[in-house]
Structure 1
């Protein structure tokens, strides 16, 4: 039998594509379709998966994604840092405000106390000025009495001559005194109208030295004549003997203080009380030092 010659299947002609083959579609199948719009950074948790799902991506795409992530994280970090800073700053500021208020309260308190102290000081200064003025007046008053002697308990008579009485007393105690030595002599009014004692005689002598001599002579006379101290009989007054006292002419304030000192001396057993140039002295015994009586408070504290 002769060989049957098989005819090879016909193939398309070279350069001719099959009818069902579309070159444009084939080309499009190899191109990665990018989304029309990149996802918001609020969903950047899915960015990686989205990137891989839409490969390939360009370097520019990666740069933009990283930039957005960095910016978002930086914005978040700055926000947190600002919030923390604000909290810390407000806390410190509140504490500082409290401290300032405390300091202000303390300053107000101190200022009030300072104002009170200043007012108190002004009052004290005013009182001191008044005391100083009164002291100057008293000093001037006492200085005007420096030449004077005061004679107490001399009976009054209608036709009495006071100069003669003073000269007779001076002669009795051993002090030489003349009419020329007496500048002025008078009786003074009583502070207490109910007091039955005679009014005191004030004799102003020509000098302080003469006054001191007269006073010293009277003290010496009484020491030497303890049983017959100066009295009314020594100046020629008949009747019962009445003691006569010679002393400095003290201001009313010093006279009151002198009287209080004599009372206190009897209470405490002090032996001597005397005055000298307007000052009052006390001594408990011959062997103790003398003390100066400054005021009634001093006497009240004396023991």
Structure 2
């Protein structure tokens, strides 16, 4: 056989193989382009949904914040008392009068107090003494009462409980959300060696030292103020 013809035949075969390989590559490339286009469309759809979810999340967060603020405002005139033992058929008005008698305050149980009640406990708190909620009809009376009784550092024995020597605590009546926030602020402040964390007029505040600025906290986002 003619060597030149044989060589040409081999070249043609190699060219044909190359052409088939190129067509295969082109086919795969087109498939990849189509898949890429499809992915890009999916990414656009997902990006749009992420934006919508972000807006929805912000709206929900705003609604929850507004609801919490309204609930807290409704509790502005309330005092929450912890540490008073429960008794069967207890008279909470009489108990409150006993506390008032320890002060120089002029508080009338009929005209200054809206109600006094034990709050219903959660299942996880069934074994704990339920706190007492006192609602004042006038907020400045509530603030005055809270300021004075906190300084007394009362114990159960001071108000007639022979078997109750534990401390009694008088607090602003915070919402569940704000109670959780207060605990988070206390932990963060403790980790950063802050000297003070307190609540006044249902507002949560912290201070690193006597000369440091006062920080105010209204949501968990504010925890980044503690540095």
Could you tell me the TM-score, scaled by structure 2's length? Answer: 0.70
Pick the aligned partner of 2:166 from 242, 253, 277: 242
Offset of residue 295 of structure 1? 3.5
Secondary structure, counterpart of 1:211 in structure 2? helix
Residue 45 (structure 2) pairs with residue 121 (structure 1): no
Residue 34 (structure 2) pairs with residue 135 (structure 1): no
Residue 129 (structure 2) pairs with residue 205 (structure 1): no
Gaps of 5+ in 1: 1-108, 223-228
Give CA-to-partner distance per residue, 1:51-108, whole Å, 9 cap, x none. xxxxxxxxxxxxxxxxxxxxxxxxxxxxxxxxxxxxxxxxxxxxxxxxxxxxxxxxxx
Residue 107 (structure 2) pairs with residue 177 (structure 1): yes
Give CA-to-partner distance per residue, 1:139-193, whole Å, 9 cap, x none. 2211211111100111101121111222322332443222121101110122253
**198 and 168 in structure 1: CA distance in 2 versus 1, 3 angstrom threshold:** same
Aligned length: 190
Equivalent residue for 2:93? 163
Whose relative contact order is higher, 1 or 2, with alpha carbons under 8 Å and at least 6 apart?
2
Equivalent residue for 1:65? none
Secondary structure, counterpart of 1:212 in structure 2? helix
Question: Over alpha carbons, which structure has the higher Rg?
Answer: 1
Contact in 2 for aligned 1:171/1:177 (Cα 8 Å): no
Could you tell me the TM-score, scaled by structure 1's length? Answer: 0.54
For residues 241-280 of structure 1, what are the structure 2 equivalents within 5 Å?
241-280=165-204
Q: Distance in 1 between matches of 2:139 and 2:211?
A: 29
Q: Distance in 2 between matches of 1:181 and 1:301?
A: 39
Contact in 2 for aligned 1:153/1:242 (Cα 8 Å): yes
Secondary structure, counterpart of 1:149 in structure 2? strand
Secondary structure, counterpart of 2:124 in structure 1? coil
Offset of residue 121 of structure 1? 3.2
Structure 1 outlier segments of 4+, above 6 Å? 109-115
Q: Distance in 2 between matches of 1:268 and 1:195?
A: 34
Q: Distance in 2 between matches of 1:278 and 1:118?
A: 40
Q: Distance in 1 between matches of 2:103 and 2:183?
A: 24
Offset of residue 275 of structure 1? 1.4
Aligned-pair Cα RMSD in Å: 2.9
Q: Distance in 1 between matches of 2:186 and 2:101?
A: 28
Offset of residue 117 of structure 1? 5.2
